[in-house]
Structure 1
Amino acid sequence: MKKQMSFLGGAGLAALAMLGAGTAAEAKPVHHTDAEFEALKAQVDRLTARLDAQDGAQRNATEQAAQAQAAAAAASERALAAQAAADAAAKAAPAEVKSQLASWKPKLPGLDGTSISGRMYFNISSISAKNGGVKTIGAGSLNGAGFNIKRFYLGVDHKFSDVFSGNVTMDVNNVIGQTANSNFQTPTATTGAAAGATTNVNNVALVGRGFYIKKAYLQAKINPALIIRFGAADLPWIPYVENQYGYRHIENTVADRLSFGTSSDWGVHVLGDLAGGLFSYQISVIDGGGYRNVKLTKSVDVEGRVSVAYKGFYAAGGGYAGKRANDVQGAVLSNGNDLHTASRIDGLIGYKNKLFTVGGEYFHAKNWNNVTTVATDKTDGYSVFGSINFAKTWSAFGRYDWVKPSKILNPTVKDQYFNFGIQWEPVKIVDLALVYKHDRARNGAIGTSNGTIGAATIGGKYSEIGLFGQLRF
């Protein structure tokens, strides 16, 4: 542009000089000056046109560059959208494949709505048992070490509709007459032995472990406040306490541990939750012999419970009354009177949250083991327990039981039991606990879930240490 202006300036000066010269000389004709001027003007026009063309080309190039940049941005957005769509498709593919495979699976009629569950209590431990300070020996001795499966439950649930469902739960346990820890005793005589021969009745024809039906019921859930079960099902008290206690795989609750109650029986069970779960209840009309012993009797037994739960606090009261399946036709006491009625009163109170649990249980029983005897008896017992979750998968726990099993007939006999330990939960379905247990029978023998402790009037001690656990699926 500067060169162009210099040229134009020079041309102008030359024109002025020529005009000046023409005026002075007045000899040369004017048409020569006009021709030169026109030539210069034409040259200026050509240069201007060239500059305009260059400016236009530059503007076109700028516009094309902007358009190319916009096109590139749009292409980038389309590429990102395509990648996102590809990622979503890749994530959806397994679900679609899984759904497709599921549709190809052969379906067995009637199995829709069926689920299978299981639970196993196991331990590997060392036991020391002494009666009167002397270790027990021989058949039935509790001393030694080994692995044991205390219980194994296998359950099948089926939902027929929103109202009706069913459950069957099998229980693998030691045979009748054997404790959870006692060794099998070789029978001293076989069936049909000569009169007068001693026969270990509990062990004749009973080998190893039994496979029992613990629960088998049809359920009608009218609404959360009214559920009816027909058959063998959980009873109101012991399963409720086990749920609050949380360490059933370590030990039975106090009434169950000393056989002053059971967890399941045959009958009709009505239960439900009220006020959004604030209150709950259950009442069971049952045979009274437990889930392993179904009998026809002249009367039925009744067990019930009412409970409340509010912001971590819980409390419950319950009771039991009946003949415990002994009221068969013609059964009377040896003095001709009617059989006694066994009864039990229960109470539980406590608090639990994500950090810790604490609770206490009390029971009072009357004639529990004296339905068919002329003599009467009473029992009192309590249990306190607690646990603390000090880490995500770790907890510490402890418990203490005190029971007077025979306040009238053997008032000096007492049972004192405690356990404590630490538990690890590697996954949600497995619990492993290092546990120490100690049970002391004072002034006599006491039958427990761990075997008979003590003998006659001398009492005994039972200590166990080991790894206890449960597996659920």
Structure 2
Amino acid sequence: MRSKLLTVAIAAGLGVTSFSALAATSKSPQQPTRVTIDAATLQQLQAQLAALQAQVSDLQAKQEAQADAQVETAKAVNDVQVAATKPTEDLSKKLDALNKIVDNTKIGGTMFFDATNQDHKEATGVNSPIKKDGHGSTNGTGFDVKRFYLTVDHKFNDIWSANLTTDFSYQSSISSTSLFVKKAYVQGKFDPLFTVRFGAADMPWIPFVEKWYGYRYVENTITDRSFEGGRSGGTATAGGVGAFGNSSDWGVHALGATTGDNSVNYQVSVVNGRGYRNLSRSKSVDTEARFGYSPIEQMVIAVGGYSGKRGNETEGGAPTRTATRGDALVAWRDSTWGAGVEYFHSTNWDDILKYAGTGPGVGAAAGTTKDKADGYSAWADWHFYDQWAVFARYDNLDYKYNNLLQVEEKIKDKYYNAGVSYDVLKNLKLALVYKHNKLDGPVATPYHYKTNEVGFWGMLTF
């Protein structure tokens, strides 16, 4: 554009000069015009033209240089913008990766706590009951955190995920708190009817019953509730009488379920046999299974079973038996009512090892001990108003075993509780509860105890 303007200016200048020269040489308006330019004038015009051309060339050079400079500046600005954008993009990618981890990871916890007063009395033979600390009970008032579970659940994709759950509890045997890994597994969910877990995970029976029961924070279910006392008398004590199952164990677990009316659920676990607190190795593995059917969504009918050495079959160890347990459950739960009955029968749960003694018998049968147990638990609850509910439960357990003299000893345990619960928040429950437990020991070495406990129990989840 500037070149065209300069050209026009030059042409206009030349035209003015020519017009002046023409006017100067005119003699008369009526005579024909004849333009004559002498050599000096022509030379002067050529010099002016050359000067103007030089100026045009100079301006063109400056314009081209300015254009080049603008291109370089634009390139530099673009490079700066790209350089500035790259860290932002890298940061954005890192933030996206972090968001993905956060979105696919859930952290939660569950705490069982209580503040209660306990009254425990024991009697031996025909003696009168007296207050005495023992058999897992301590007289007085106190605050306890029975369990604290911290859970991390991460989802890799629509199929694979992982779970880590720690278990904090107080161990009366060592008078100290302990921290365990209760669950640590990798899960592959390939279909609603087929999920597999590798590692320490929920067992088929106890956690399943807990969901239908609904008051685990008040008391363990009957197969998971230890009763103290039990066996007595030298080598006849095979670890004492405790829980008749594990809530979690190390192994491979396959499970699945459908939903709604006419739904089914199942789980089969092949495990070490000593529970999540004891990651041991033995010559054989144990198996526990469950199958459930819900004719309607609010009801379940389930059966289950356990078989194995409970991790006691070791190379060069004592001869063993197989511990077995059969289970049954019928339960109902809707938004207002809950009720259920659980039953189990076990054999050799404590007497897996074939202890040898001096009692009557021949060969390996001489002086060995055996045990069996039958127990049932019935419970009900009613949500009568908003967050308020009343509940009650009754357990009955008959435990029998042969001592070293092949005399059958009997232990009978009765337990019940009743209370009222209040949902303070969606994730905070409190219950005012009364508990009673009575145990009558074997006739040969008679002992009896009963425990009354009253106070508040609670559960906090997040």
8 Å contact from structure 2 (residues 117, 453) kept in 1: yes
User: d(CA) in 2 for partners of 1:396 and 1:105?
Assistant: 48
Query: 1:361-415 CA deviation, whole Å, 9 max, x = no partner?
Result: 0000000000013321111000000000101100000000000122555543200
Classify the secondary structure of the residue corresponding to 1:419. Answer: strand
The alpha-carbon distance between structure 1 residues 417 and 139, as it changes in their structure 2 partners (threshold 3 A), is closer
Match of 2:54 in 1: none
Match of 1:325 in 2: 311
Query: 1:103-147 CA deviation, whole Å, 9 max, x = no partner?
Result: 989937844411101000000000000001111049976101010
User: d(CA) in 1 for partners of 2:136 and 2:112?
Assistant: 22
Deviation at 1:157, TM superposition (A): 0.2
Deviation at 1:158, TM superposition (A): 0.2
Classify the secondary structure of the residue corresponding to 1:150. Answer: strand
- 1:219-368 superposed matches below 5 A: 219-258=187-226, 259-274=243-258, 278-311=263-296, 312-333=298-319, 339-368=320-349
User: d(CA) in 1 for partners of 2:430 and 2:385?
Assistant: 15
User: d(CA) in 1 for partners of 2:300 and 2:211?
Assistant: 12
The alpha-carbon distance between structure 1 residues 436 and 159, as it changes in their structure 2 partners (threshold 3 A), is same
Deviation at 1:350, TM superposition (A): 2.1
Aligned residues: 329
Q: Do residues 160 (structure 1) and 146 (structure 2) align?
A: no
What value does the CA root-mean-square deviation take over the aligned residues?
2.3
Match of 2:351 in 1: 370
Match of 1:91 in 2: none
- 1:74-473 superposed matches below 5 A: 107=98, 110-132=101-123, 133-137=129-133, 142-175=138-171, 178=172, 203=174, 208-258=176-226, 259-274=243-258, 278-311=263-296, 312-333=298-319, 339-373=320-354, 374-406=368-400, 408-409=402-403, 410-444=408-442, 457-473=446-462
8 Å contact from structure 1 (residues 433, 469) kept in 2: yes
8 Å contact from structure 2 (residues 212, 332) kept in 1: no
8 Å contact from structure 1 (residues 378, 408) kept in 2: no
Classify the secondary structure of the residue corresponding to 1:420. Answer: strand
Amino acid at match of 1:366: T
Classify the secondary structure of the residue corresponding to 1:255. Answer: helix
Classify the secondary structure of the residue corresponding to 1:107. Answer: helix
| Runs of 5+ unmatched residues, structure 2 | 1-93, 124-128, 227-242, 355-367
User: d(CA) in 2 for partners of 1:235 and 1:138?
Assistant: 31
Classify the secondary structure of the residue corresponding to 2:410. Answer: coil
The alpha-carbon distance between structure 1 residues 139 and 364, as it changes in their structure 2 partners (threshold 3 A), is closer
8 Å contact from structure 1 (residues 444, 459) kept in 2: no
Percent identity between matched residues is 42
Match of 1:183 in 2: none
User: d(CA) in 2 for partners of 1:365 and 1:120?
Assistant: 31
User: d(CA) in 2 for partners of 1:439 and 1:104?
Assistant: 56
| Runs of 5+ unmatched residues, structure 1 | 1-102, 179-201, 334-338, 446-454
The alpha-carbon distance between structure 1 residues 137 and 317, as it changes in their structure 2 partners (threshold 3 A), is closer
TM (norm. structure 1) is: 0.66
8 Å contact from structure 1 (residues 314, 350) kept in 2: yes
User: d(CA) in 1 for partners of 2:220 and 2:151?
Assistant: 20
User: d(CA) in 2 for partners of 1:464 and 1:256?
Assistant: 19
Classify the secondary structure of the residue corresponding to 2:256. Answer: strand
TM (norm. structure 2) is: 0.68
- 1:52-63 superposed matches below 5 A: none
Amino acid at match of 2:393: R
Classify the secondary structure of the residue corresponding to 2:245. Answer: coil
Amino acid at match of 1:212: F
